[in-house]
C-alpha cells in the first residue's frame, strides 16, 4: 500500500519573508555599532601615533642637547620612529608639529574635529 501525499518540502513565501525581516532588523542594529567601533579604534590609533611622535621629538631633543625653544621638524624625529613617519588612520594625513620642542600640544592631527576627537589628552 502506498499513501499518496501531495505536500512538497520547502519554505513558503511568508517564512522566507520573516527570515529576511529578522536579518534586516539585526543588520540595522549591528551596522551603526560597527561604524562606531571603527571610528573609536581609528581615534585611539591616531592618539597613539601622536604619542609616539611626541616621544620621538623628546628623545631627539634630549640626545641632541636641544632647549625647549628650539624648532623641530618631522625630519628630525624620523630616526626615532620605527617604520617612518606615521599617518592618521582615519584619513591618511600627516601630523602637524607644534613648532618647538616644548610646544603643547607638540603634535596635532588634521582630523582632530572628528568624532571621537583625535587629540592628545
pLDDT at site 83: 87
Q: What is the pTM of this model?
A: 0.80
Place of cell 501531495: 6
- Cβ atoms of residues 103 and 61 within 8 Å: no
Name the nearest CA neighbour of 74 among 93, 92, 98. Answer: 98
Residue 118 near residue 111 (C-beta atoms within 8 A)? yes
Q: What is the pLDDT of residue 6?
A: 64
Residues of the chain where predicted confidence (pLDDT) is lower than 50: none
pLDDT value of residue 18:
97
pLDDT for the residue 100: 92
Amino acid at each position: 500500500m502506498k499513501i499518496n501525499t501531495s505536500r512538497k518540502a520547502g519554505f513558503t513565501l511568508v517564512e522566507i519573508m520573516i527570515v529576511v525581516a529578522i536579518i534586516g532588523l539585526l543588520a540595522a542594529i549591528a551596522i551603526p555599532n560597527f561604524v562606531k567601533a571603527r571610528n573609536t579604534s581609528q581615534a585611539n590609533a591616531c592618539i597613539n601615533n601622536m604619542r609616539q611622535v611626541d616621544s620621538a621629538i623628546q628623545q631627539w631633543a634630549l640626545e641632541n642637547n636641544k632647549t625647549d625653544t628650539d624648532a623641530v621638524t618631522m625630519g628630525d624625529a624620523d630616526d626615532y620612529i620605527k617604520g617612518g613617519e606615521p599617518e592618521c588612520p582615519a584619513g591618511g594625513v600627516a601630523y602637524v608639529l607644534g613648532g618647538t620642542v616644548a610646544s603643547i600640544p607638540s603634535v596635532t592631527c588634521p582630523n582632530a574635529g572628528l568624532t571621537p576627537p583625535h587629540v592628545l589628552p
